[in-house]
Amino acid sequence: MDIKYFDNAATTKVSKEVLEEMIKYFSEEYGNPSSMYTIGRSAKKAIEKARKKVAELINCEPREIIFTAGGSESDNTAIKGIANQLKNKGNHIITSKIEHHAIIESCKSLEEQGFKITYLNVNKEGYIDLTQLEKEITNKTILISIMAANNEIGTIQPIKEISKIAKEKNILFHTDAVQAVGNIPIDVKEMGIDMLSLSGHKIHAPKGIGALYVKEGIKFKRFIDGGHQEKNRRAGTENVAGIIGLGKACQIAKENLEQHMIALEQLRDYYISQVEKNIQGVILNGTLKNRLPGNANISFKDIDGEALLLELDQKGICASSGSACTAGESTPSHVLKAIGLDDSIANGAVRISFSEENTKEDVDYLVKSLMEIVESLRQKS
């Protein structure tokens, strides 16, 4: 069966160029970067080249990039690292109700330690209320963490405005940009970001590699103890091949960003228009105006989303109901609940996320399949 893959927000296929760049670091350039001999020094040099490529994508200095095992580790490091570093200054952190679970669960963990967490509301399109943000700030607030773009509904937050509020109050600002980096322009200097999380497997690099940007001068308690790698900021022998892959993926993303956005927006808008034209009882979740170019989250009324996904799978179509990190949960998405959907509508949501490998013909097949399955499921119910 020919697989039609529409779940790029969950993970992306490692690109041929990225894989080719990585290969020799498994079997030829296999030295430990902390070693003094030639192949160790060679690995270290390759890591620094990759660090520069990652930095160039988000416009920061290479020394401000820390390599991690992925977005979740980067989020945990930022939230818990700052909390523990600044706990004598304050114990209050502000985030939102639609963050990735790596942020929400980190905050819950800190609440058990006595920290105070404010979870901002969002409106029906998924935007936080900047007025509420300002009102919630206290003299104990040490960190604001708001994701750049939501992984389920694609809403892009007003990051510059959030950063400005944080700066006026001398509060650090972190953003989970795992879905944003490589899909929309991100400039940490221009946007006023202090810390930023990104992940390789969302931009055609392998799983198990990510990075945390930390603005120079910001101190935090490191999350993983051990050796002195990453300038004593993240212990553990570096994932050399993964780092090389991330660097190459960031280089490609920077070079192709504009055409990438245009291609995905065209697929997204065509898909949404065809669904709305051919299927009754559908709701687009989030906003179309300020949305990730490859994201389309649509609820199908009177449909069980899991049943719909299983039927799509039978036709060789890969899609999801939301975050891959919540797969298997029976409760509705916390994101869809936060934007005000009732359970029946939230449970009928299907997230489609495109890559440049998708075609208009793929979308036609997807829509045709959805028409058949939705009609069948509604008749049965």
What confidence score (pLDDT) does residue 319 get?
98
Domain that holds residue 123: 16-252
Name the pLDDT band for 322 (thresholds 50, 70, 90): low
Same domain, residue pair 192 and 299: no
Among 241, 307, 195, residue whose Cα is nearest residue 29:
241
Amino acid at 160: K
* pLDDT above 70 coverage of the chain, percent: 98
Same domain, residue pair 101 and 152: yes
- Tell me: pLDDT of 352 over 60: yes
> Which residue in the list 107, 250, 318, 325 is annotated as catalytic?
325
What confidence score (pLDDT) does residue 135 get?
98
Same domain, residue pair 236 and 264: no
C-alpha atoms less than 13 angstroms from C-alpha of 355 in its C-beta half-sphere:
20
What confidence score (pLDDT) does residue 75 get?
98
> Is 325 marked active-site?
yes
CA dist., res. 210 & res. 246, Å (int): 7
pLDDT digits (tens, 9 = 90+) for 59-99: 999 999 999 999 999 999 999 999 999 999 999 999 999 99
Same domain, residue pair 262 and 187: no
Name the pLDDT band for 42 (thresholds 50, 70, 90): very high
Same domain, residue pair 239 and 299: no
CA dist., res. 148 & res. 164, Å (int): 14
What confidence score (pLDDT) does residue 54 get?
98
Cβ atoms within 10 Å of 283's Cβ, excluding its own: 14
Token couple for 260: 């990438």
- Tell me: pLDDT of 325 over 90: no
Amino acid at 313: D
Question: 144 near 67, Cβ under 8 Å?
Answer: no
pLDDT digits (tens, 9 = 90+) for 114-135: 999 999 999 999 999 999 999 9
Number of independent structural domains in the chain:
2
Same domain, residue pair 232 and 307: no
- Torsion (CA) 128, 294, 187, 244 in degrees, nearest 10: 130
**Domain stop point among 219, 252, 285:** 252
- Tell me: pLDDT of 218 over 80: yes
Among the residue ranges 63-67, 167-171, 265-269, 376-380, the one predicted with the least confidence is 376-380
* pLDDT above 90 coverage of the chain, percent: 94
Same domain, residue pair 131 and 265: no
Name the pLDDT band for 367 (thresholds 50, 70, 90): very high
Name the pLDDT band for 330 (thresholds 50, 70, 90): low
Same domain, residue pair 199 and 334: no
- Tell me: pLDDT of 328 over 70: no
- Tell me: pLDDT of 329 over 90: no
Same domain, residue pair 111 and 30: yes
Same domain, residue pair 28 and 55: yes
Same domain, residue pair 322 and 224: no
